[in-house]
Structures are given as C-alpha cells and as structure tokens.
Amino acid sequence: MRDARDATATATAISDSSNPTSLSTATVRTRVTVPLRFGDGYTVTADLVTFHGLADGQEHVAVVLGEPAAGHLPLVRLHSECLTGDVFGSARCDCGPQLREAVERIADRGGVLLYLRQEGRGIGLYNKLDAYALQDQGLDTYEANAALGLPEDARDYTAAAQMLNALGIGTLDLLSNNPDKAAQLRTLGLTVTHRVPTGVFTTAQNVRYLRAKVVHTQHTLPLTELTAG
C-alpha cells in the first residue's frame, strides 16, 4: 500500500518566518490509545488526542503514531477531513489513499497526523457536493468553488499550530504536497524543516482534480504522472 516515495523525498527545505503570529494556548483534553485497522488489513496502535481552547472551536483530533528516533524530527501530516474519500472511498479525490499512506509513514518514523474538520477545503460537505455537481458540468474544483461564491481554499491552520504546540512539537518535517500548509505553520511560529512529498494516487476520475491542484495552488505533484488509465 505504501507509495512512500522515500527515494524521491528530496524534501523541500522551508525557511522560518521572521514575524510569526502569536497563538493563544490550547491544552490537551483527553489522550486515549486506540488500535486502528484499515480496509487492506494494515493495523497500528495510535494515541488519539483531543484539546481544549482551539481557536475555531472544532473537534479536531491528533493521531500520535510512534516515537521519533533520537535526533530525528517528528513527521507531521495535516489531513483535512473528507467523508467521501476517507470513509466511502471516493475515486474523485486522493484523500483516502493519502490518509492511509500517511498513517503508515508516520507510524514507521514517529510523529503525528492531525485530522482536521475542514471538509471540502473548508467549505463544508454540502457545498463540496454542490461543487462536485458543477465539476460534472466542466468546471475544475477551484472554479466550482468560485462559481458558488466560495474561496478556492478556506482552510486556516491556526488550530493545527495550537495542537502541535500543546503536544510539545515546535519543529517538524511536514508530509504534504501543499506549500500553503507549510507557509501557514511558519507564520504561526512553527519551524517546518522539510516538506516531504506524499505519493501520487491517480484514478481515471481524479486526474483533472490533481492537475488543478498543481496549476492553481502549486502542489508539488509531478504533472507527467497525472495521466488517466
């Protein structure tokens, strides 16, 4: 299952922001150990952590997996909730495979997956499905959001930075193809040492979606691999 791309993880170094935004303090609310099992049979034990004081008031969860070796930074993934992809296995996006890959890679190295309640890049489930209907008429994912009068990407990672601080993580490697995630964390005062690419998970139904992420928001996905069939 792992398309870890470790051989090509010539991770992009990210410089620190000189003017970080000050954060209010969040605290750990509950930490509980949960055995996880995925549809392909992969199993791992994680600690699920909830928080008090998150800026947006949402019920985000940290999934703590393994322990980094001495001298190594934690690997962190900011994963936005996707009911259609994570739960129902929708082939219109790559969210489910990215979640599965991230859990194994983080468990192998040690780190945290933040499961963030930001469905549809922050526009919500109903709006996301409305955007799907517009995509069926020929718009790409970003154009569809704009046609609905919504932002291309409404996600704010303030709560994610609070969660990491509450877990004692100030310096990390970020598992992401999205430069905005690293930029926001930097601005919020965290040190992102490297941005490590995820795998590329194409289907006949999601190639246009993945290409739009490269063109509109400069995701570091190789366009040459984004071909259907």
User: Which pLDDT belongs to residue 159?
Assistant: 98
User: Which pLDDT belongs to residue 220?
Assistant: 66
Of 94, 140, 153, 173, the active-site residue reads 153
User: Which pLDDT belongs to residue 225?
Assistant: 59
| Between 48 and 209, the higher pLDDT residue | 48
Spatial strand order of the sheet with 43-52 comes to 12-13, 191-196, 171-175, 75-80, 111-116, 61-65, 43-52, 27-37
> Are 161 and 190 contacting, i.e. CB atoms less than 8 angstroms apart?
yes
d(CA 37, CA 187): 35
pLDDT tens-place string over residues 38-64: 999 999 999 999 999 999 999 999 999
d(CA 224, CA 222): 5
pLDDT of residue 20 exceeding 80: no
Confidence of residue 80 (pLDDT cuts 50, 70, 90): very high
d(CA 194, CA 174): 6
**CA angle at 14 for the pair 185 and 192, rounded to the nearest 5°:** 40
Q: Which of 2-6, 49-53, 202-206 has the highest mean pLDDT?
A: 49-53
Mean pLDDT of the chain: 86
How much of the chain, in percent, has pLDDT values that exceed 70?
Answer: 81
Contacts of 9 (CB under 8 A, 6+ apart): 196, 197
109 is catalytic: no
136 is catalytic: no
Give the mean pLDDT of 199-217: 68
Of 100, 121, 155, 186, the active-site residue reads 155
| Between 102 and 219, the higher pLDDT residue | 102
pLDDT tens-place string over residues 148-191: 999 888 899 999 999 999 999 999 999 998 889 999 999 999 99
CA-closest candidate to residue 75, choices 86, 85, 64:
64
The top-level CATH class assigned to 6-118+155-225 is alpha beta
User: Which pLDDT belongs to residue 223?
Assistant: 58
User: Which pLDDT belongs to residue 218?
Assistant: 57
Domain ranges (residues) in the chain: 6-118+155-225
